[in-house]
Structure 1
Amino acid sequence: MTSFLDPLISFVSAHAWLAYLTLFLAALLEAVPVVGSVIPGSTIILALSALVPGGELQLQWVLLAAALGAVLGDGSAYWIGHRRQREILTAWPLTNYPRVVAESESFFHRFGTWAVFFARFVPPIRAFVPVTAGALGMAPARFYAVNIPAILLWAPAHVLPGVLAVSALHEYAGLHHHGHVGKHIWILTVVGAALGLGVAMWIYRRRNGDGFAKGKPRA
């Protein structure tokens, strides 16, 4: 296992900017309508955050990359909705996902401004509420006043579990004494678990989520 992970750790150490770019893109694409419902952005963020305790990545830059990606992704979706108004909700590709669009609109009407805050933590409508908020005429100042604080909470909520898990495993096993090999095993465990969760979620969505999202009756 360590022979598999050593090149990855070495690559990330030498090209940390690429890992930060991946984090940024994962957070951005997760906020794009339709795309965000299939991109395992949270899984990618969790997996890469496991490299923070070993020093391959820096926590502050991981948090910044994730937060900036989410701000740009949510903001872009909001402005598309703001410019096109309700027309966007009945345009392709959103027409392929009428139930999620309807749920997002219902969520927005139910919680009002706070829908933008809560949706950041609720997939798959996380990728649909910003464009819905814009389409339904939410003012930009109100949107960002709720969206940015939500993202400032969302980023640590997705990054810190991976960081804390690896740090706790290091401490529990006394890996600061046993060194390099043990550290890599635990990082591989967390990364593998995160990727496994992402694959399981993707399979579940393919089997169940697509039919629900596209308006087909659930089994």
Structure 2
Amino acid sequence: MSAFAPLLSSGLLASGLLAFDLQGLFEEYTYLAVGLALFLMGLGLPIPEELALVLAGYLAWADLAQLWLMMATCAAAITLGDLLPYLAGRLFGERFLRSRAVRRWLNPRRMRRFNQLFLRYGAKVVFFARFFPGLRSVAYVVAGSLGMPLARFLFLDGLGILVTVPTFVGIGYAFGRNIDDALQKIREVEHGLIWAIGCGLVAAALWMWWRRRGLRPRAEPSSPEPNEGD
């Protein structure tokens, strides 16, 4: 029986990840296929990265790949996929951002919002963007256009990858016997991460507001005017 048989009735096929009869490709060229899929997702392929990571874990569970080598492959492919948007923003800057192709998904209003995020939270936006699928590529392009050093970008992006790759590959490996449970676990983890990050950002904003308010100089009480009779 094919290692992909349990996937035929799961939500993974419905997601489109294996909608094009790629079973043979993933079984014969496991590492290359997973790596290429993740690399293309980093360039904007409209398939959730988390589902590909769960599939990678499932392939390791099915003895089609070694778990740790698969994790390393996923991490390397994601890093390369993230690096290209960053380099495009870094090398071409405003000219790239104003191109017709980019303006379709990065309009001026969205660009202003990201600039404000970077001004407010700094380079940490690169780390947090990893947990928001619709923001990743945009954040990396903006980071490059603002001149973030390559080493700092790779460090922050790598921190996010160190969270997501072991988490979602591990879910696919641990729930190999029941991929539906793995997909449900993904949704729970994603929601938990988004809530935790959202609460953290709100708490940070409140703390900064409170600190700024505390540092604001207080108006000195005006001295009483002397009476005319004195």
TM-score above 0.5, yes or no: yes
Name 2:80's counterpart in structure 1. 72
Aligned pair count reads 169
* 2:36–2:77 Cα contact (<8 Å) kept: yes
Residues 80-108 of structure 1, C-alpha deviation per residue, up to 9 Å, x if partnerless?
11111122222121211215544443433
Structure-1-length-normalised TM-score: 0.65
Q: 1:164 offset after TM fit, Å?
A: 1.8
Alpha-carbon distance change, 57 to 134 in structure 1, aligned in 2, over 3 angstroms: same
Partner of 1:121: helix, strand, or coil? coil
Are residue 94 (structure 1) and residue 102 (structure 2) matched? Answer: yes
Q: Tell me, in whole angstroms, the C-alpha distance in 1 between the residues paired with 2:48 and 2:158.
A: 21
Alpha-carbon distance change, 31 to 106 in structure 1, aligned in 2, over 3 angstroms: farther
Structure-2-length-normalised TM-score: 0.62
Q: Tell me, in whole angstroms, the C-alpha distance in 1 between the residues paired with 2:40 and 2:153.
A: 19
Alpha-carbon distance change, 13 to 43 in structure 1, aligned in 2, over 3 angstroms: closer
- Counterpart of 1:148 (choices 158, 170, 177) is 158
Q: 1:14 offset after TM fit, Å?
A: 5.9
Name 2:210's counterpart in structure 1. none
More deviation, 22-31/132-141: 22-31
Q: Tell me, in whole angstroms, the C-alpha distance in 1 between the residues paired with 2:122 and 2:181.
A: 37
Choose 1 or 2 for highest CA Rg: 2
Q: 1:132 offset after TM fit, Å?
A: 1.0
Tell me, which stretches of 5 or more residues in structure 2 are unaligned?
7-20, 188-230
CA RMSD in angstroms comes to 3.1
Q: Tell me, in whole angstroms, the C-alpha distance in 1 between the residues paired with 2:25 and 2:172.
A: 16
* 2:129–2:135 Cα contact (<8 Å) kept: yes
Alpha-carbon distance change, 3 to 84 in structure 1, aligned in 2, over 3 angstroms: closer
Alpha-carbon distance change, 147 to 90 in structure 1, aligned in 2, over 3 angstroms: same
Match of 1:158, as an amino acid? F
- Spell out structure 1 runs of 4+ moving beyond 3 A: 1-4, 10-14, 99-107
* 1:94–1:101 Cα contact (<8 Å) kept: no
Are residue 25 (structure 1) and residue 36 (structure 2) matched? Answer: yes
Residues 133-160 of structure 1, C-alpha deviation per residue, up to 9 Å, x if partnerless?
0011112222122122222222112211
Larger proportion of helix: 1
* 1:86–1:136 Cα contact (<8 Å) kept: no
Query: Which structure has more RCO (C-alpha within 8 Å, separation ≥ 6)?
Result: 1
Tell me, which stretches of 5 or more residues in structure 1 are unaligned?
167-182, 198-219
Partner of 2:175: helix, strand, or coil? helix
